[in-house]
Structure 1
Amino acid sequence: MKELPQLHQKKVLVLGLAKSGYTAARLLHKLGAFVTVNDSKPFEENPEAQDLLNLGVTVICGRHPEDLLDEGFELVIKNPGIPYRNHLIQKALEKGISVWTEIELAYRISEAPFIGITGSNGKTTTTTLLFHMLNQDDKSPLIAGNIGTVACGVAEKAVSDNVIVTELSSFQLKGTETFRPHIAIITNLYEAHLDYHGSLDDYLESKKKITQNQTEADYFIYNADQQILADHAKTLKAQLVPFTLKGKTDQHISADGEYIYWQGEPLIERKRIMLAGEHNLENILAATAAALIWGGTKETINRVLTSFTGVKHRSQFVDEWQGRRFYNDSKATNALATKSALEAFPGNIILLAGGLEREHSLEEMRPFMDRVKGLVTFGETAQRFSTFAESCNVPTTTAGMMDDAVEKAIALSQPGDIILLSPACASWDQYESFEVRGDAFIAAVQKHTEANE
């Protein structure tokens, strides 16, 4: 781990705990900073705050004092989920105080280089797939970021022989200054998280920050089928590695209906690849290009692509019961992600959808609603999904929690059907996270199948 003398005996505020804030606070304390932590959860319900207090960190819990920033802080590290409209963040920026997410801290202390992966959809699958490719080729990868492992905790232990394969959200990237991945990947860009960013421009600019510090020595892998990314690539210094699904090209990586190609030569037959769906082909091309640039072998890439079946909560196969196959795609938190899931299956889908109301359009799904023979909807958007389904001539029913939704989906189904949880909404109206929602779906499926063996 690199030392940061510029933070030694400097006053740093960590705003918001959870995993990222807790890990950053411990690291900053170790680096010799004078750390204050401010978290909304009451101290008596906050084991992370209690542990930090025992280390000698100043802890303020249960409230956000208006005068907190009058203490002379030189840096704020905020939880990525705290929006920039937060009054303390606004005040810090007005005072000229730098506001980072822990990704910036991770980069500054890391002895290992980074591969950064972002995009509106496909980040986790691409990150996981690339990690497996590099790991099976003995490239000493570590995995971090929005995938669930705090990057600065990983970076603290990394050595120069490692490479940190990092999934990055727009929330995390917005709080970076010097972060520079040796390989940056943007899988795709679509409208998302406008409730956080306030505008599409702010969301897109936050995503593009993954490339802002790259030089001629670095690589940018991007979806050339999207004009917004092709245009962005023209402004960069990095070496450009476009990928396309529109047919074979002689340069870089591409795919047609039969093969994936690397520099115009067949790499693998598509029918041998385990991961289904056109949307996953984007992820496969991006991960494969990064692995090859990092020195991975074609043999290992073939081996991974013929065995990798997906990531939990992302079109994850759960079980088969009486001819019905159950898939958990709880990570689909917008209509575009659900459209991609519907596109991956030929038809006979019983769809479970709904959740937090963010007023996103559902029209992305319409071209594939003819594959849906029944819809079970839930959460705040239940009525809006019902109205949308009716306009698509799809029968619909409304459920409560996931046990009820699964039972109603089974009742609508027949042997040969796909029962797919792909909500097209965030989970926070009913569940703490999309992972909790997906786990509830898995548990409900197992409960039914075990009771009806």
Structure 2
Amino acid sequence: MFRKGDKVVVIGVGRSGLATAEVLRSRGIRVTAYDDKPLQLLSGQTRDALARLRVTLVGPSELEAAIEASKAAVVSPGVPLTHRAVARVYDAGRPVISEIELAYSLAQGPIIAVTGSKGKSTTTALIGHLLRSAGLPARVGGNIGNPLVRETADAATDEWIVAEVSSFQLEGIRSFRPRISVLLNISPDHLDRYPSMEEYAEAKFRIFANQSPDDVFIGNADDEFCAALRTGAGRTVPCRALWFGMDAADRGLTITLEGDAIVVRDKRREAVLVDVNELRLLGRHNVANAMAASAAALSAGAKLAAIREGLRSFEPLPHRLTIVHDDGGIVWIDDSKATNPAAAVAAIESLTRPIILIAGGKSKNTDFTTFAGAVSKRAKRAILIGETAREIGQLVEGPTVAYAPTLDAAVEDAHAHAQAGDAILLSPACASFDMFESAEQRGERFAELARARAKHDRAAS
């Protein structure tokens, strides 16, 4: 895609943008960077990285000249293709390349790509775990942690690259072609970026846009948008399609649930993979994630026995229904990564204990009606924070609704009203950016506060 000595503009200097610059510089490509923030407002770590890489950061007044001098621009995942800086690249007639497209051009090994509105990170990590359990070399990257461009640049030809990809990343692909694509679900999210659910779904469907008949697509038969692909009512999947779902009577499913058993079916066999009670993952939604991951691992050549052991040994990722404290009475659960209503509903419905819920945060123009219904039905108390607090509170009927100005205050309220046997659940249904830098920071603060409250209780007893 690029040769030594080429000039490239990288738009956005977050984690992926810096990784892109680093990979390009390691190949002798000259890089200029652009970000909405001026250099003095970037973190010290980012400024140090730019200096180490010998990358100049330009502002709006210098951007046009940088684009004119460059062969192309690589756009970071968090930058919309409608951004004014990207528009200037188009106006100059230069190619606009997404980070995921650059990563694909560097990949020597096969790619498994995972997308969906919820469950992406868990499923991506689980696929990597299952492949390694089967003795198949695998790297995990993308939105889950290490930027995909870095993983593909370093991967050997025999390594599977398991990538979590977002709708934002898929918008900008041209040639990106995973050997195996996984579409978990499509539910309302990022409607601050997409005018409609249909346009959001179209962005997700791009995961299989370049696949060929020899490739594999794995879809959720229980999801409305995925089911349309299965029936032919929507887009046509251009490769072999495997389906997972909860309806054991549906003989068209490759992986399904029979009672408490996850079962795999094909023309040669029908075999139990694992009892769901053996999984360390909580919730029915994670059963679906386990099905999807198992289908991907099978398609990559993993044996049933190895998948079975991998499912049993996989530990949940942080901030996803993670128990951060359990003293035998009150259980504190961090689900900070539930940044949309569907993910939070899945968390609420997975618990059998009485729930004191902490929710709210940055709005993504999402409808909270279904979420509020689940809160009304299952929570004994809802403590709402952030800019969406009043919007959610007006929809909740039944439990006591309280408002807190900070997460710290919400934790104090939850602790004051909790009784033995309760679960205090942080499952915000919203992004974190009105109060925190990331969902991870929000979850870490919740865990810190939970442990501090428990320590105080022990000292007082």
Amino acid at match of 2:388: T
Amino acid at match of 1:165: V
C-alpha deviation, 1:268, in angstroms: 2.1
Which residue number in structure 2 is paired with residue 52 of structure 1? 50
What residue ranges of structure 2 are gaps of 5+ in the alignment? none
C-alpha deviation, 1:71, in angstroms: 2.0
3-state secondary structure, aligned to 1:240: strand
Which residue number in structure 1 is paired with residue 262 of structure 2? 260
Which residue number in structure 2 is paired with residue 357 of structure 1? 363
Segment drifting more, 303-312 vs 108-117: 303-312
Q: Is the 8 A contact 1:69 1:92 kept in 2?
A: no
3-state secondary structure, aligned to 1:194: coil
Match of 1:67 among 48, 60, 64: 64
Matches within 5 A, 1:65-214: 65=62, 67-68=64-65, 71-214=68-211
Q: Deviations over 1:386-435 (max 9, x none)?
A: 2222xx11101111222221111111211101110000111100000111
Amino acid at match of 2:321: S
Q: Deviations over 1:152-202 (max 9, x none)?
A: 111111101111111111111112111111000000011211212344333
Change (3 A) 1:70 1:349: closer
**Partner Cα distance (1:108, 1:451) in 2:** 54
Which residue number in structure 2 is paired with residue 382 of structure 1? 389
Change (3 A) 1:74 1:410: same
Change (3 A) 1:156 1:124: same
Q: Does 1:321 align with 2:327?
A: yes
Q: Deviations over 1:312-352 (max 9, x none)?
A: 11111111135111110001111111111111012410000
Q: Does 1:434 align with 2:436?
A: no
**Partner Cα distance (1:178, 1:116) in 2:** 14
Matches within 5 A, 1:214-363: 214-233=211-230, 234=232, 235-250=236-251, 251-263=253-265, 264-321=270-327, 323-363=329-369
**Partner Cα distance (1:131, 1:54) in 2:** 32
3-state secondary structure, aligned to 1:306: helix
What residue ranges of structure 1 are gaps of 5+ in the alignment? none
C-alpha deviation, 1:74, in angstroms: 2.7
Q: Is the 8 A contact 2:191 2:366 kept in 1?
A: no
Amino acid at match of 1:225: D
**Partner Cα distance (2:196, 2:47) in 1:** 34
Q: Is the 8 A contact 1:69 1:88 kept in 2?
A: no
Change (3 A) 1:48 1:367: closer
Which residue number in structure 2 is paired with residue 372 of structure 1? 379
**Partner Cα distance (2:70, 2:347) in 1:** 46
Tell me the TM-score normalised to structure 2 length.
0.91
Number of corresponding residues: 446
Q: Deviations over 1:335-376 (max 9, x none)?
A: 111111111012410000011133421112244332100011
3-state secondary structure, aligned to 2:139: strand
3-state secondary structure, aligned to 1:276: coil
Q: Deviations over 1:106-162 (max 9, x none)?
A: 110111111000000110110111111111222111010000111111111110111
**Partner Cα distance (1:147, 1:55) in 2:** 24
Change (3 A) 1:56 1:266: closer
**Partner Cα distance (1:265, 1:248) in 2:** 15
Change (3 A) 1:411 1:55: closer
Change (3 A) 1:326 1:68: farther
Q: Does 1:17 align with 2:29?
A: no
Q: Is the 8 A contact 2:336 2:439 kept in 1?
A: yes
RMSD of equivalent CA atoms: 2.0
Change (3 A) 1:213 1:379: same
Amino acid at match of 1:424: A
**Partner Cα distance (2:184, 2:333) in 1:** 23
**Partner Cα distance (2:238, 2:305) in 1:** 31
